[in-house]
A and B are shown apart, each in its own frame.
Chain A
Amino acid sequence: DQQVKQNSPSLSVQEGRISILNCDYTNSMFDYFLWYKKYPAEGPTFLISISSIKDKNEDGRFTVFLNKSAKHLSLHIVPSQPGDSAVYFCAAAAGGTSYGKLTFGQGTILTVHP
């Protein structure tokens, strides 16, 4: 069963606008969440993370929001830049840390148009 789901396979936005990528999870044991970015022919690169004790974490243009009651998290990119075009994966872990097994969503392809 798919414990982490990214229901939008793709997202297209204009440069300068906000990109919002969504992720849902089903396993209540998950308490640590991460976003990775992946360019073609490269491995995923860590972007930002959030612990379940928080509902928001911000790093520059990137903000992750966590809604535990809805088992939903989102990544906001403001303003979006063409270099942000990549596949974005959300991932979840149990145990309050990213150490150990990560469960990934299927990914969302973000395209930012100049």
Chain B
Amino acid sequence: GAGVSQSPSNKVTEKGKDVELRCDPISGHTALYWYRQSLGQGLEFLIYFQGNSAPDKSGLPSDRFSAERTGGSVSTLTIQRTQQEDSAVYLCASSGVGTGMTDTQYFGPGTRLTVL
């Protein structure tokens, strides 16, 4: 079946503008995650959603970052008043919930954000 998809694949914006990044998880996956990878760094956890539970927002770096998940499927990550340090690849992942392999997080190709 289809994997995790993200759009746009690339986004260039000016400092101070707002951006929205979209993630379509694998059908049937109840958990959705956002990570980012800055240049030369590992993946940094941002937020995750599980069903109707309150999301774990513990990784969001500032209140300029927010995310929502509509209808338990598609998610949008919004960055307000972008700064140059927000430049990174933003990766979305989804997983089932259970034991063993159903928990595995499957990643999308990412959105490369460049803030000028």
CB-based contact B41/A101 at 8 Å: no
A-B contacts besides A43-B4, A89-B43, 6 pairs, CB < 8 Å: A6-B42, A98-B95, A98-B103, A100-B56, A101-B59, A104-B35
- In the complex, A54→B44 CA distance in Å? 27
With A49-B104, A107-B42 as given contacts, are A97 and B109 in contact (CB-CB < 8 Å)? no
- Judge whether A101 and B43 touch: CB under 8 Å: no
Decide: A106 and B41 in contact? CB cutoff 8 A.
yes
Nearest-Cβ distance from residue A64 to partner chain B, whole angstroms: 14
Interface string of B30-52 (1 = CB under 8 A from A): 01010100001111110010000
Residues A99 and B107 in contact in the complex (CB < 8 Å), given A89-B42, A104-B43: no
- Is A50 an interface residue when CB atoms closer than 8 A count as contact? no
Q: In which size bucket is the chain A interface?
A: 20 to 34
Assembled-state Cα–Cα distance A49/B95 (Å): 15
A103 to B110: give the CA distance in the assembly, Å: 18
B70 within 8 A of A: no
Q: Could you give 27 example pairs across A and B, Cβ below 8 Å?
A: A34-B104, A36-B107, A42-B109, A42-B110, A43-B91, A43-B93, A43-B108, A43-B109, A44-B107, A46-B105, A49-B104, A89-B42, A89-B43, A91-B43, A97-B99, A97-B103, A98-B95, A98-B103, A99-B95, A99-B98, A101-B48, A101-B56, A101-B58, A103-B45, A104-B35, A104-B44, A106-B41
Give me the interface of A with B, judged by CB distance under 8 Å: 4, 6, 34, 36, 41-46, 49, 89, 91, 97-107
Assembled-state Cα–Cα distance A43/B40 (Å): 15
Instruction: List B residues 58-116 near A (Cβ within 8 Å).
Output: 58-59, 91, 93, 95, 97-99, 103-110
Q: How far is the CA of A45 from the CA of B93 in the complex (A)?
A: 10
Q: Within the assembled complex, what's the spacing in Å between the Cα atoms of A6 and B91?
A: 20
